[in-house]
Amino acid sequence: MKIVKQNDKEWLQKKGYSKKILLDENDLNHKGGLVQLIKVKPGEAAGDHYHKKQTEIFYFLTKNGYWMINGEKLTFEIGDTIIIKPNDRHYVMNDTEEDYVYLAFKFNYDPEDLYWS
What is the bridge-based pairing of β-strands 55-60 and 100-107? antiparallel
The percentage of residues in the chain with a pLDDT greater than 90, rounded to a whole number, is 97
Running DSSP on this structure, what letter comes out for residue 7?
G
The model carries a pTM of 0.95
What pLDDT is recorded for position 94? 98
Mean pLDDT calculated for residue range 98-108: 98
Choose among 100, 99, 107, 44: nearest CA to 76: 100
d(CA 35, CA 19): 10
| Cα of 44 vs its chain's centroid, Å | 14
What pLDDT is recorded for position 117? 87
**Domain range summary for the chain, segments of one domain joined by +:** 11-110
Output the CA torsion 75→77→79→81 (10° steps): -20
Tens of pLDDT, residue by residue over 32-83, are 999 999 999 999 999 999 999 999 999 999 999 999 999 999 999 999 999 9
Running DSSP on this structure, what letter comes out for residue 55?
E
Mean pLDDT calculated for residue range 79-94: 98
- May I ask the CATH architecture of the domain 11-110? Sandwich (2.60)
Q: Are 59 and 20 in contact (CB under 8 A)?
A: no
Q: Quick check: 108 pLDDT over 90?
A: yes
What pLDDT is recorded for position 69? 98
